[in-house]
Amino acid sequence: MVFIPGVVLQLLLLPRVYSLLFGGPVVPCPKPAQNCLKDVFNRVLENLGCLGCQMGCQPGYTMTSNYKYFTEPDNPGGHYFFNGVPVSSTVNVSEPQWLCLRGDGCRDGFYSTKLNDQEACSWCGKGCASCTSFNNCDRCFSGFSLNPHTLPGGETAEMCTHSHVPCPSAPNNCLHDTFVAAGIGCTGCQSCADGYMVTYNPRYMNLSSGRLAGTYDYMGLQINHVVDVNEPRFHCVAGDTCREGWYQAFMGDTLICAECSEGCAQCSSRTGCTK
């Protein structure tokens, strides 16, 4: 069986298939998916690894593909063992293929699809914020850029490309990879995991660096002198609302927590202090 990121893995839930899938030892997933409707696939399966919430989610959650499930190994035809179960080298056994994320719709970076008659959200592809199918992108996260490529079958589509220079301090709890871009440095995270808010990082701008003008070099990229490449512009801060001294605002298409003016505990905008 060939696995392609973004293509839904369809399993025929017949007794014979069950016996093939579940005939080996019962090995729990090292990091089981949460809020599944059933935990049938929250175990390590031969070659497949951990499929997670493939049978749907609890009310209030949406079945969403996990881009970290697939890997790009040097030997894609090989395998490794996890507690005695052989797993394809193209799969990360610590990352369930299907997660349950809060909400009724797809987040940025995912598109609506179905899996076994269940509503689901599949991954758009690396760096893609909005798409109609895998690597058929119409908007990228900041730090990525649209470039044409050819889909299987010959159709031309847009995919998001990056500098291949990872952010030196990648933000935690982010739902996409982050890379350095010329000029702006590390934009950071624009889509956070459940329980975290996209939040502006005040340390992104470093006016006391001693660099008075122009740019500086980082891994072959020229970065604006006021930007600290070691500090992502946006990171993920725990909470479901903005903390005291911060307010919600749109930065392009991304809803973020932005900082009120100095000394302000509550505001509706940078200059609209109410407390």
Which amino acid is residue 196, in one-letter code? Y
Q: Which residues of 76-102 are buried (b: 16+ CB within 10 A; e: fewer)?
A: eeebeebeebebbbbbbbebbbbbbbe
Are residues 205 and 96 part of one domain? Answer: no
DSSP label at 128?
E
SS3 labels along 188-203 = ECCCECCCEEEEECHH
Mean pLDDT in order along the chain per 10 residues (275 residues): 40 43 81 95 94 94 94 84 94 96 91 90 94 92 89 86 94 93 94 93 84 87 94 95 92 86 89 85
Neighbouring residues of 189: CB distance < 8 A, sequence distance ≥ 6: 171, 173, 174, 175, 176, 178, 198, 232, 234, 235, 236
Q: Are both 59 and 19 inside the same structural domain?
A: yes
Please check whether residue 268 lies inside any domain of the structure: no
One domain for residues 30 and 110: yes
- pLDDT score for 6: 42
Q: What is residue 7's predicted lDDT score, i.e. its pLDDT?
A: 38
Q: What is the pLDDT of residue 151?
A: 78
Which tokens hold the place of 271? 């200059």
Q: How far is residue 175's CA from residue 112's CA, in Å, rounded to a whole number? A: 17
Q: Is the pTM of this model over 0.75?
A: yes
Residue 3's Cβ-side half-sphere holds a number of Cα atoms within 13 Å equal to 21
Q: Based on the domain organization, do 134 and 155 belong to the same domain?
A: yes
Within this chain, do residues 138 and 217 fall inside the same structural domain, yes or no? no
Q: What is the structure's pLDDT at 174?
A: 93
Dist CA 40 CA 210 (whole Å): 57
The verdict on 146 and 58 lying in the same domain is no
Together in a domain, 72 and 99 = yes
Could you tell me how many residues make up the chain? Answer: 275
Same domain, 39 and 56: yes
CB of 199 closer than 8 Å to CB of 257: yes
Whether 51 and 28 share a structural domain: yes
User: For residue 18, what pLDDT is reported?
Assistant: 46
Total count of domains within the chain:
3
Do 106 and 202 lie in one domain? The reply is: no
Which of 16, 71, 18, 61 is closest to 41 using CA atoms? 18
With CA atoms as reference, report the closest residue to 187 among 170, 209, 172: 170
Q: What's the confidence (pLDDT) of residue 23?
A: 67
Range of the domain at 184: 180-259
